[in-house]
Amino acid sequence: MISGPSGAGKTSICKALLERLPNSRWSVSVTTRPRRGDEVDGQAYHYIDDAEFERLRQSDQLLENAEYLGRKYGTPREPVERAIAEGATIILEIDVQGGAQVAQRLPESIRVFVLPPTMDTLKARLAGRKTESESLQQKRLAEADGEIAFAIRGGVYPYIITNDILEDSVQKVIEILESETVKS
Ligand code: 5GP
């Protein structure tokens, strides 16, 4: 499970992990936020409305769920349980509220928090991807401090890495996964 502020580079790390790790798959979240840029429905997310989200949540079909900047996000339970049963590695890219729920429900999960090298880098990365309006970029940036403080406070993320050079970060996560696999 990978968490971190918007713009820290989580998605790039996850994409590289999926390519590099044998028998790995991506957990496709549901969200009520609108589709962004070149995202494809069913690949990045399943885009659903509030009523459908509530239906899934209330019928216990979500492993975890959270609200981020007024939009809802959740992890469908069944694909995660199936992956675990099949011995596959399933990668969740979720926020810290969801991370806390997963830590409780799946304590054996491997949880990594990704930090940007500096807050200026985070700002530049958010601005550079041009997928959100200026005001939404500001809101995402404002969320970052709380998310980082939460991760550093401890309890949910045994691993905190700084994503400066993408390839180094991918390698760090692979090493974490390998060391955890040896332990279990
Ligand atoms: P974005 O809108 O940039 O795709 O995602 C916003 C935030 O929601 C990010 O921190 C992302 O990791 C998180 N997120 C994406 N999917 C889920 C999910 O299924 N559950 C939770 N709790 N957070 C999610």
Q: Select from 99, 91, 93, 75 the least CA-distant residue to 147.
A: 99
Q: Which atom of ligand 1 is nearest to the CA of 96?
A: 22
Out of 41, 57, 77, 93, mutate this one to test ligand 1's pocket (max ligand atoms within 8 Å of CB): namely 93
Give the architecture (CATH level 2) of 2-183: 3-Layer(aba) Sandwich (3.40)
Dump pLDDT digits (tens) for 61-119.
Answer: 999 999 999 999 999 999 999 999 999 999 999 999 999 999 999 999 999 999 999 99
Higher pLDDT, 18 or 184: 18
Tell whether ligand 1 has an atom less than 6 A from the beta carbon of residue 33. yes
DSSP-derived 3-state class of residue 109: coil
* Nearest protein Cα to ligand 1, atom 19: 74
Q: Which atom of ligand 1 is nearest to the CA of 62?
A: 19
Tokens of 97: 């509220």
Give me the half-sphere count of Cα atoms (radius 13 Å) on the Cβ side of residue 107: 2
Tell me the domain boundaries of the chain. 2-183
Q: Read off the pTM.
A: 0.96
Tokens of 50: 């509030």
